Amino acid sequence: EKLTALLGRPVRHISLGDEEYRRALVAAGLPRWYADGLVELFRFYREGMGAAVTDNVARITGHPARILDTYLAEQRAAFED
Q: What is the pLDDT of residues 13-39, one digit of tens each?
A: 999 999 999 999 999 999 999 999 999
Backbone angles phi, psi at 19, to 5 degrees: -65, -40
pTM of the predicted model as reported, rounded to 2 decimal places: 0.67
Alpha-carbon gap, residue 56 to 40, rounded angstroms: 22
Quote the pLDDT of residue 79.
Answer: 87
**Confidence class for position 57, pLDDT limits 50, 70, 90:** very high
Which backbone phi and psi does 33 adopt, to 5 degrees?
A: -65, -35
Q: What are phi and psi of 16, to 5 degrees?
A: -115, 145
Helices H / strands E in the chain, number of each: 6, 0
> What end-to-end distance do the CA atoms of the chain give, in Å?
17
Q: What is the pLDDT of residue 80?
A: 86
